[in-house]
Chain A
Amino acid sequence: DIQMTQSPSSVSASVGDRVTITCRASQDISIWLVWYQQKPGKAPERLIYASSSLQSGVPSRFSGSGSGTDFTLTISSLQPEDFASYYCQQAIRFPVTFGGGTKVEI
């Protein structure tokens, strides 16, 4: 199975800050990496797919990059509504695996 390791597990930041979350795969997954945002009590929502493609409707302050084993989700200017947990997922093969999550606290 492909292990997905996210860091940090939590981050405390202020409005306007740049926040970076990393995700590392235990083997090469090319660009097949997905990022989800989950707000408390809500279902996850896809933010970014194929490493860097922004889901329609997602603000441009969110961006993704990386390929192979190392990936990054960046929020360029943190907004109050970005308080949430973020998860990466490898989408190259079964079993589907998720990272442990990163909680962003404002």
Chain B
Amino acid sequence: EVQLVESGGGLVQPGGSLRLSCAASGFTFSEYDMNWVRQERGESLEWVSTLETTGVTHYAASVEGRFTVSRDDAKKSFYLQMNSLRAGDTAVYYCARKVPGDGHGMDGWGQGTTVTVS
């Protein structure tokens, strides 16, 4: 069974930093692109970042230069380093996996971790 478990969320002051983690199990982690998607309360989903299996990264314009994604395939873990946090970054953050190269979207999601910037 595919499992993705996020952790690291919490309350942080504006301008502060936070590191989110996503622990994967139940699948061959190294074979999947990994993504962060966030959702403000009551709002739609917002893509944040993708880290491909090749190491190529993609970021939303709203987080470019402030957020950094990384992965440790040996630990089957995926990370989001968030710096210079703003109130607008307050959201539930989900990690999600995606098969590389296809246009089939994200087929496995974690339960989310809440980040509050205040």
Contacts and interface: CB of A to CB of B under 8 A. Distances in A.
Partners in one complex: yes
Interface of A: 30-32, 34, 36, 38, 42-46, 49-50, 53, 55, 87, 89, 91-92, 94-101
B72 interface: no
Given A32-B103, A92-B103, A95-B60, A44 B44 contact: no
A94 B60 CA distance: 9
B112 A43 contact: yes
Contacts of B60: 95
Given A43-B112, A44-B94, A36 B44 contact: no
Nearest to A35: B105
B7 to A, nearest CB: 15
A95 to B, nearest CB: 6
Given A32-B103, A44-B109, A46-B107, A97 B47 contact: yes
Contact of A46 (B35, B61, B106, B112): B106
Contact of A50 (B50, B104, B106): B104
Given A98-B45, A101-B44, A49 B105 contact: yes
A98 B105 contact: no
Interface string B45-81: 1110010000000101100000000000000000000
Given A43-B111, A44-B109, A49-B105, A94 B44 contact: no
6 contacts: A30-B103, A46-B106, A49-B105, A91-B104, A94-B58, A98-B46
